[in-house]
Amino acid sequence: MKRKIYTLLIICFFSLNMMAVGKHYTVVISLDGFRWDYPSWYNTPFFDYMASHGVESGLIPSFPSKTFPNHYTLATGLYPDHHGLIANDFFDAQLDESFSLSSLKQKLDPRFYGGEPIWLTAQRQGLKTAVFYWPGSDVKINGQYPDTYYAYDKEPRLSFSERMEGIISQLKKPEKERPQLIMAYLSEPDHSGHNYGPHGKQTKKAVESVDQLISILYQKLQKLPFADEINLIVLSDHGMTWIAKDHTIGLMKYLKSTWVKNACGNSPTNIYAEKGCTDSIYEALRNVDHLRVWKKQDIPAYLHYGENARVGDIVASPDLGFVVIDDTIKAGGNHGFDPTMQDMHALFRAIGPDFKHISIPHFKNVDVYPLLCKLLGIQPSPNDGELNEIKAILK
């Protein structure tokens, strides 16, 4: 009898513990193209507050440090090589189709999206979710959408302020209808960073504007009757660097058009070779200034790139501050470069009941997915992240 009682007590203890872990609400906001060091450049009192009362760190993006691959990595915990969105634009030889963000049909085609995003992991385990424009959230992945989602290409889009109000409205729902996970995407300061560079006055304004916006959201979160049950995470997908107008690398002057079946992207460029032409392309490009060139099988292991069939036969990655393009450009900002470059590192701030006040070194963005699973008290799907790498940030 004592053994049975003891067993029941253990079961009750672990059940209560899991309930406690999953009790809190988690709000995640992504600020596209927000460099990890913008708060040291510009006036960001709220991000400074988060750093002084919660977790201060930065995220190391996955290669390539582009928007869609990295937002989907944040959502799945998988490197782009493993979830399949290996770039913003690429060619799939097996489907004999290209993927491009400019094509609504392709962008919404679930065949391009592998892995399980966090909103589906949560829903599969009984939680409710609401997602505002996160890349991939308007795609019917594994036959499902988030409980609440918004089609990015449906005009007019909700303004940034309306998205913040939408978060509050979701949290004001009756408890049984209230989502435990809310995610929102904002396209700034990436848009300004591209047009004016990371040091531009307009980029400074965009950075300070989103800081103020998130501050207002936080103040409203604090007025909710369960404010002490809400974790707030603010992060980004990648950084931004300056590209001078003469820092272009034209590839086609080195290549014969008959060698190339397709070429996608400017940092990096995935080159799909005609049969028997891979060596010719490699030899023609391997000594080009400011360009690293690999055959698919020779891509350095630290980039976690090259196993996926969608990766080009040749990958050409420009040095930081250069872009691969056979045309003229305006000076401005860009990203997509080697994730070890600190210009590519992204913001990470977190505050709430499950977070310590701590500053830690920058960590890989694949770790965000298992972190969210821990906060929500759910079991993660297979992923490339490692929660133990960042366990110090949790209470």
Q: Which residues participate in catalysis according to the annotation?
A: 67
Q: Is the peptide bond before 156 cis (omega within 30 degrees of 0)?
A: yes
Contact (CB, 8 A) for 256 and 276: no
Bridge partners, 130 (sequence order): 148, 182
Antiparallel, parallel or unpaired: β 55-60 and 25-31: unpaired
Beta strands in the chain (DSSP E): 25-31, 55-60, 89-92, 97-100, 129-132, 181-186, 230-235, 241-243, 248-249, 260-264, 269-273, 291-295, 314-318, 323-324, 332-334, 346-351, 358-359, 363-364
Residues 6 or more apart whose Cβ sits within 8 Å of residue 248: 322, 323, 324, 325, 327, 328, 329
Q: CA 376 → CA 20, 26, 124, 215, distances in Å?
A: 9, 7, 12, 24
DSSP classification of residue 319: P
* CB atoms inside a 10 Å sphere around CB 49: 15
**320 φ/ψ angles, rounded to the nearest 5 degrees:** -55, 130
CB 260 within 8 A of CB 274: yes
The alpha carbon dihedral of 345, 362, 389, 231 has a sign of negative
Q: Are 248 and 322 in contact (CB under 8 A)?
A: yes
d(CA 376, CA 388): 16
Q: Using the structure block, give the residue that is written with the tokens 């995470």.
A: 233
